[in-house]
Copies of this chain bind each other. A is one copy, B any other.
Amino acid sequence: MEELQISPAHALGSPAKEQRAAGVGILLQIMMLVLSFVLGHVLRRHRFYYLPEASASLLIGLIVGGLANISNTETSIRDWFNFHEEFFFLFLLPPIIFQSGFSMQPKPFFSNFGAIVTFAIFGTFIASVVTGILVYLGGLTYLMYKLPFVECLMFGALISATDPVTVLSIFQELGTDVNLYALVFGESVLNDAMAISLYRTMSLVRSPTSTGQNFFIIVVRFLETFVGSMSAGVGVGFTSALLFKYAGLDIDNLQNLECCLFVLFPYFSYMLAEGFGLSGIVSILFTGIVMKHYTFSNLSDSSQKFASAFFHLISSLAETFVFIYMGFDIAMEKHSGSHMGFIFFSILLIGIARAANVFSCSYLVNLVRPSHRKIPMKHQKALWYSGLRGAMAFALALQSVHDLPEGHGQTIFTATTAIVVLTVLLIGGSTGTMLEALQVVGDGHDHPLGESLEANRGYRAPTYDGESSSGNGFKMKLKEFHKSTTSFTAMDRNYLTPFFTTQSSDEDEHDELLGDPRRGGFRGRE
């Protein structure tokens, strides 16, 4: 926000006048934030699911942007909102992404680990490539604005980052299956990391300085970004766990010190990865997951409560701000015809790409799961439907404006903003109806959310005694993969948890089962 005061576009007025104008701009933003929170609260209280909180924020942004557009007397209103992406990348995005990792309830996540990883890694790869190819074909056939192939793949990667906020908050309100919830949540969290890594890889391939463009180098670059950032994040997370385990800060009057240190670690992880030229976002995401799973339990009780509330608060503010900004941006944008076509066909194509992701991955997962744990078709449909786009796609599109020349980045940015706004409004507004139509809400179901944590225990580390032995080699490999994720759960319980936390794993389990399931992960980020 500080950028507002020193942006060159303000050169018209005197410094004092500028500063005052910037003050009024920020004031307006704060008022829109307050309005969003209050409106979201009123709508939720009246169980009006057609306009979730994110949509409300978007609409407020749209309306204020529209008003600013009409009353063109004050031309500088556009500039007030024109924050630099540095502000976005340093202050708004890290808390949102950290919270998405931090709010993840480890248990259902790990019990569906294999499926989530399949959807997030393999599925996002499919979705990106399919979108990229289809957009390229669309360009070739003059249906859409024509982009070079690598840029199509970049667009495919960035638009494949899904956002769970709105859908998940409705899942919670209505109460849905805990495994479906874990799938949607886990997939949308991890696919951010995948989408960023793919985007960065393609961006490196595109750059004029890149030497070889063969497939091998691309794969190495992708692994460098993904595995490097993940290791940095996990490393920082484990370091924090050991620090809090042995520093003995969990006495009550050191709460402030404990919280200060706890709050600094995610940002440290972010900056460490950026300093190494890796992805800070991917790093902070994994730091969030590790810190929730290990470090968190080493905190004193009051600090645990504080840390949860703190990250929830910060990310709510950042997220609401991003949605308001997106609405404002789309209202101020001057839309050309080519953009309209691009937006329309993109929405169509990402629907197809998401279908390719969800249904093929579900097929693979179902091949390996025992019959009682297969992902039912209605869950697959719900998963397909919940692929709305949010802050992450917006962030990467913002990045692409700088990465791509000749207005291509601008096209991608405009299209992405429009897609985010439309999917949030349309999908967000109809999720309740969809869930009811698919009959995945309420009583009739096996494991309604929040009551099945106990039942969920049975899922952990399931043993497959080869009860459905098929000779198929591919299937065998899938099973091995599945077993490795199962053994990860066992390793976590037997080695990682005792090493990094002060609790034995039994204690841990006990704690979590006693804990209010509506707190933490299951509340998502409303």
Interface residues of A (CB under 8 A from B): 1-3, 5-6, 16, 19-20, 23-24, 26-27, 30-31, 33-34, 37-38, 41, 84, 86-87, 90-91, 253-257, 259-261, 263-264, 267-268, 271-272, 274-277, 280, 302, 305-306, 309-310, 312-313, 316-317, 518, 526
Contacts of A87 in B (CB 8 A): 2
A26 to B86: give the CA distance in the assembly, Å. Answer: 13
Whether A256 pairs with B312 at a CB distance below 8 angstroms is yes
Contacts of A84 in B (CB 8 A): 2, 6
Contacts of A264 in B (CB 8 A): 30, 33-34, 317
Contacts of A3 in B (CB 8 A): 2
Whether B16 pairs with A277 at a CB distance below 8 angstroms is yes
Whether B24 pairs with A260 at a CB distance below 8 angstroms is no
Nearest opposing residue in chain B for A19, CB measure: B274
Q: How far is the CB of A387 from chain B (nearest CB, A)?
A: 26
Given contacts A20-B275, A277-B20, contact A30 B267 (CB under 8 A): yes
A121 to B272: give the CA distance in the assembly, Å. Answer: 47
Whether A27 pairs with B312 at a CB distance below 8 angstroms is no
Contact for A268 among B6, B27, B306, CB less than 8 A: B27
A526 to B259: give the CA distance in the assembly, Å. Answer: 13
Given contacts A3-B2, A16-B277, A87-B2, contact A309 B256 (CB under 8 A): yes
Q: How far is the CB of A206 from chain B (nearest CB, A)?
A: 14
Whether B317 pairs with A37 at a CB distance below 8 angstroms is no
A431 to B171: give the CA distance in the assembly, Å. Answer: 58
Taking A23-B271, A30-B264, A41-B257 as known contacts, 12 extra A-B pairs with beta carbons closer than 8 A to each other, sorted by chain A number, are A1-B90, A2-B87, A20-B274, A20-B276, A24-B275, A27-B271, A27-B272, A30-B271, A31-B268, A259-B309, A263-B313, A306-B313
Whether A309 pairs with B306 at a CB distance below 8 angstroms is yes
Nearest opposing residue in chain B for A6, CB measure: B86
Contacts of A86 in B (CB 8 A): 2, 5-6
Whether A313 pairs with B316 at a CB distance below 8 angstroms is no
Whether B260 pairs with A37 at a CB distance below 8 angstroms is yes
Contacts of A23 in B (CB 8 A): 271, 274-275, 280
A29 to B37: give the CA distance in the assembly, Å. Answer: 33
The contact sample of 28 A-B pairs, CB cut-off 8 A, is A2-B2, A2-B84, A19-B274, A20-B275, A20-B276, A23-B274, A23-B275, A23-B280, A26-B267, A26-B271, A27-B268, A27-B271, A30-B264, A30-B268, A30-B271, A33-B260, A34-B261, A37-B260, A37-B261, A41-B254, A41-B257, A255-B309, A256-B309, A259-B313, A263-B317, A302-B309, A306-B306, A310-B313
Contacts of A302 in B (CB 8 A): 305, 309
Nearest opposing residue in chain B for A29, CB measure: B271
Q: How far is the CB of A210 from chain B (nearest CB, A)?
A: 13
Contacts of A34 in B (CB 8 A): 261, 264, 268
